[in-house]
Amino acid sequence: MVDVPLPHLDRPFDYSVPETLSAAAQPGVRVRVRFAGQDVGGWLIERAASSDHPGRLAPLRRVVSPEPVLTGEVLRLARAVADRYAGTLGDVLRLAVPPRHARAETGPAVLADPVPGGASGPGPWADYLAGPAFVARLERGEGPRAVWTALSGPTWATAIGRAVAATAASGRGAVVVVPDRRDVDRLEPVLAGAVGAGGVVRLEADLGPEARYRAFLRLLRGQASVAIGTRAAAFAPVARLGLVVVWDDGDSQHAEQRSPYPHTREVLALRAEQTGAAALVGGWSRSVEAAALVERGWAREIVADRATQRARWPRVACAADGRPDDDPAARVARMPPAAWRAVRDGLARGPVLVQVARSGYLPGLSCQTCRNPARCPHCRGPVTIASGASGASGASGSPGAPGPDGARSPECGWCGRGLPAWTCPECQGRRLRARTVGVDRTAEELGRAFPGARVLVSRADRVLPSVPPGRTLVLATAGIEPPAADPGYAAAVLLDGNVLLERPDLRAGEEALRRWRAAAALVRPATEGGLVVVSADSAAPAVQALVRYDPPGFAARELAERAELGLPPAAAVAAVTGGPDAVRALLDLARLPAGAVVLGPVPVEAPARPSAEPVEEQVRAVVRAPFALGAELARALRDAAAVRSARRDPGAARIQLDPRDLG
């Protein structure tokens, strides 16, 4: 396989092997070959005695390394992923195999520690209806597939560790993929305790080239049997694979941002099918795609009974309900009375978490007079008041100019220009009001309201590792909430719920419920007084699912609605994005399956960029087909892209199967 990005060259090519390279030129090694007048890289995938090519074969130029880093199993998986997402094998292999680091190949071998014995029984899985049976089947060397809705608290890591230990007891390995590095840090010591420290390696980009390649080689050489990491770890070359695990599959970080844009859950599902390994798709909530796996019979669900859920999760209340004596006007405020009481009473018992929808200080401003969004006159970027501002007025005040209390003037969020004399181009007004309030401004307001509490803010660039016990108020945006010391937060307030629910996104409700459940999982159980207050429309299905501890029911209803509307995952959907001529040409060439419907193309909003440079017009067409025809749809679009590539047609058209950002 020659490493070239052109779709029409996505096939094997025959080369002759010189006698001097014969010993090193084994399947799976990296090679250099002459192709189209240039020296390019490639993968040797098979040796044969003869070739079907009638002419003279060009010879291999050299073997880059005698290390066979591409196993047959990973090659088959990469080919299946490329076909599933209408991509090329070369693109997938760049995701699957890290770049070579010569010094790592010559380093000393690190042998795995002996697997600790004595682990028996279901462990944390005893709290789930089908949990003990799942662990027992893993110990017997079988391949069960499950969609798991976890209980609140830190036992999720212990449960994964017990499943991996049961798999190791049957002489097999495991691959565990989590969304980010913080999850890797929490889970790695648990897995090390389950199978021995030397038997676990972590695979993530933050390791650096040498450390990542060395970890990859340890798995390849059989020196470790368990891989844990972020999305690239889904391709880890684990020998005798027995279990694949993806935690929090609804997190957007599981979706690859490079072509062909595969999703971790789908990669691991393909791998489980090819190898016969067990599969575990887990999380605090349940994605609609996971619900589809259960609906189609591909997996069975693992959940706790209702009594256990009510005891283990904190009690959930809607801020809008409140008490009968609450002021009706205050119930619709950003911080309703019920939320204030939750913070006040919770601080008397321990730390309290406040989840805020937006980062920054005042991330969105508008004209006080006409209410149009405020834009920079130089680059049309959004006008904001940056993080770290202090003394600015409230949500309906006038933060337009710095005052004696130290308030900062507004500035452009793109080009960074200060705009102390901003003027509205529509009505010539000069007063600004806040459209949205960020986590820093919220921390400032709550710090004044609860002067005796210590206020901490967890930011994307400075995530708090943990929170000590005591009277501490922690504010964070979704996904970066730090855990509190045992037994967890006394209470949590989920602010700006309607901001999440009203996003123009197919996944708005699903994503809001996932974020809320992740925050609620950090709070003490209801039996210990844990309380979560959500500030959102109490009639919204996602809010009702949160209150009733019913993510499976919510996901099932979402799936049924999408099936009625012909939306993924109930249908196969592809988005084709690019210039108008390129998109139209690709769709004209594609031999779409019967029943496929083309929607659009429609203009796509240009990506935000801090400059006034003109951006080429982009359009997007959505192709929808019945779910059973998903493979045909991908093949038709891939073949059309190959034809355009061979003809060297101008313009680029990007193909994405089942895109996450479908509005």
Whole-number Å distance between alpha carbons of 17 and 60: 6
When the pLDDT of each residue in the chain is averaged and rounded to a whole number, the result is 88
Whole-number Å distance between alpha carbons of 12 and 266: 25
Fold of 566-606+615-657: Alpha-Beta Plaits (3.30.70)
- Cβ atoms of residues 266 and 84 within 8 Å: yes
> Looking at residue 121, what is its pLDDT?
84
HSE (CB half, 13 Å, CA atoms) of 454? 9
> Looking at residue 510, what is its pLDDT?
95
Residue 492 CA, distance from chain mean position: 24
Condensed to tens digits (0 to 9), the pLDDT of residues 252-268 reads 999 999 999 999 999 99
> Looking at residue 392, what is its pLDDT?
32
Condensed to tens digits (0 to 9), the pLDDT of residues 344-381 reads 999 999 999 999 988 787 777 888 888 888 888 877 78
Q: CA distances (Å), 306 to each of 235, 444, 449, 491, in order?
A: 37, 39, 37, 22
> Looking at residue 552, what is its pLDDT?
97
From the list 531, 527, 494, 528, the residue with the least C-alpha distance to 513 is 494
From the list 202, 174, 213, the residue with the least C-alpha distance to 69 is 213
Fold of 314-359+440-548: Rossmann fold (3.40.50)
Q: Is the pLDDT of residue 44 over 60?
A: yes
Domain segments of the chain as ranges:
7-68, 123-308, 314-359+440-548, 361-437, 566-606+615-657
> In the CATH scheme, what is the code of domain 123-308?
3.40.50.300
Instruction: Read off the pLDDT band of 65 (50, 70, 90).
Output: very high
The alpha carbon torsion through 42, 47, 53, 58 (nearest 10 deg) reads 50
- Cβ atoms of residues 243 and 277 within 8 Å: yes
Q: Is the pLDDT of residue 227 over 50?
A: yes
Condensed to tens digits (0 to 9), the pLDDT of residues 68-124 reads 999 999 999 999 999 999 999 999 999 999 999 888 888 665 655 555 554 578 999
> Looking at residue 106, what is its pLDDT?
80
Lowest-confidence region among 293-297, 405-409, 502-506: 405-409
Average pLDDT (198-226) is 91
Q: What is the model's pTM? A: 0.89
What share of the chain has pLDDT > 70, as a percent?
A: 91
> Looking at residue 108, what is its pLDDT?
64
Average pLDDT (544-556) is 96
Beta bridge partners of 573: 624
Average pLDDT (542-554) is 96
From the list 493, 206, 197, 207, the residue with the least C-alpha distance to 342 is 493
> Looking at residue 77, what is its pLDDT?
97
* Contacts of 601 by beta carbon, 8 Å cutoff, 6+ apart: 576, 580, 583, 584, 619, 620, 621
Domains 123-308 and 314-359+440-548 share a fold: yes
More confident residue, 391 or 462: 462
Condensed to tens digits (0 to 9), the pLDDT of residues 412-451 reads 877 778 888 888 888 888 888 877 788 888 888 888 888 8
Whole-number Å distance between alpha carbons of 297 and 390: 55
Q: CA distances (Å), 332 to each of 297, 336, 440, 525, in order?
A: 43, 6, 22, 28
Helix (H) or strand (E) holding 561: helix 551-565
Q: Is the pLDDT of residue 607 over 60?
A: no
From the list 500, 491, 501, the residue with the least C-alpha distance to 539 is 501
> Looking at residue 437, what is its pLDDT?
81
Instruction: Supply the angle between the helices 580-589 and 630-647 in degrees, to the nearest 10.
Output: 120
Whole-number Å distance between alpha carbons of 339 and 490: 13
Lowest-confidence region among 165-169, 436-440, 451-455: 436-440
CATH number of this structure's domain 7-68, picked from the four choices 3.40.50.11810, 3.60.20.10, 3.40.1440.60, 3.40.50.300 = 3.40.1440.60
Instruction: Read off the pLDDT band of 403 (50, 70, 90).
Output: very low
> Looking at residue 406, what is its pLDDT?
38
Collapsed DSSP state (helix, strand, coil) of residue 601: strand
Helix (H) or strand (E) holding 272: helix 264-275
> Looking at residue 393, what is its pLDDT?
31
Query: Which pairing describes strands 145-149 and 278-283: parallel, antiparallel, or unpaired?
Result: parallel
